[in-house]
Structure 1
Amino acid sequence: MTAGLYLFAALAEILGCFAFWAWWKQGASALWLVPGVLALAAFASALALTPPDQAGRSFAAYGGVYICASLGWLWLAEGEIPRASDLIGAGLALAGALVILSGAVRAG
């Protein structure tokens, strides 16, 4: 369940941030901000449901998932294939997230 929450949070955050990016950087209509704000609210709500008792620990563990999801967005939505260095960095970040979560689960 935790992995699903983090994945949902990452997708919502990326979609929300992309809506703002499209408006600000690509000249999209200001109406893009409405689903952007809703997506960012969904992101915050999902992240608040994750198990760690401390927000900072939950956010730190989420960071690894977000990095991986962002590279997925880079590839699938933007058509840019991640480099080997991107994948290695994402793997390290995800491994760090797993270490953080394993400590939080054992302590809780």
Structure 2
Amino acid sequence: MTVLRSSLLFALAALAEIGGAWLVWQGVREERGPWWVAAGLVSLACYGFVATLQPEANFGRVLAAYGGVFVAGSLAWAMVADGFRPDRWDVGGALLCLLGVLAIMYGPRG
């Protein structure tokens, strides 16, 4: 149950952070306006709170593992939101990052 909860929290954190960054990007770079930026900032703040809900108590471990989720999630977001088509190196790199998540968060501890 802990792995499932942790995985769901990582997914929620990715939606909040990547979505927030995308909204800010849209507001500034695509000139969609300040409301997009404001929505992005709210979403980014939500990401900060979601990370605190992880069952693992070590901040460094949670954020290091989340980095791998962020990499894979960013590519997935770009595919859905922007029509990005990853090449084999993007996919391989994302899979490597997700293996890192598994090792960091769920590897056996002595």
TM-score (norm 1): 0.91
Contact 1:15 1:39 in 2 (8 A): yes
Q: Does 1:96 align with 2:96?
A: no
- The residue number in structure 1 matching 2:37 is 33
Q: Does 1:52 align with 2:56?
A: yes
Q: What is the DSSP-based 3-state SS (H/G/I as helix, E as strand, rest coil) of the residue aligned with 2:28?
A: helix
Distance 1:83 1:10 in 2: 21
The alignment-based identity, stated in percent, is 37
Query: What CA RMSD, in Å, does the superposition of the two structures yield over aligned residues?
Result: 1.4
Q: Does 1:5 align with 2:9?
A: yes
Contact 1:51 1:58 in 2 (8 A): no
Distance 1:20 1:98 in 2: 30
Please tell me the residue identity of whatever aligns with 2:95: G
Task: State the 4+ residue runs in structure 1 displaced beyond 4 angstroms.
Answer: none
2:78 to 65, 74, 77: 74
How far the C-alpha of 1:44 sits from its partner, in A, is: 0.8
TM-score (norm 2): 0.89
Distance 1:20 1:35 in 2: 8
How far the C-alpha of 1:25 sits from its partner, in A, is: 0.9
Distance 1:101 1:19 in 2: 29
Deviation per CA, 1:23-58: give whole Å up to 9, x if none. 221111111122112111111111111122221110
Q: What is the DSSP-based 3-state SS (H/G/I as helix, E as strand, rest coil) of the residue aligned with 1:77?
A: helix
Number of residue-to-residue matches in the alignment: 106
Q: Which runs of no fewer than 5 residues in structure 2 stay unpaired?
A: none
How far the C-alpha of 1:81 sits from its partner, in A, is: 1.2
2:26 to 22, 29, 53: 22
Q: Which runs of no fewer than 5 residues in structure 1 stay unpaired?
A: none
How far the C-alpha of 1:72 sits from its partner, in A, is: 0.6
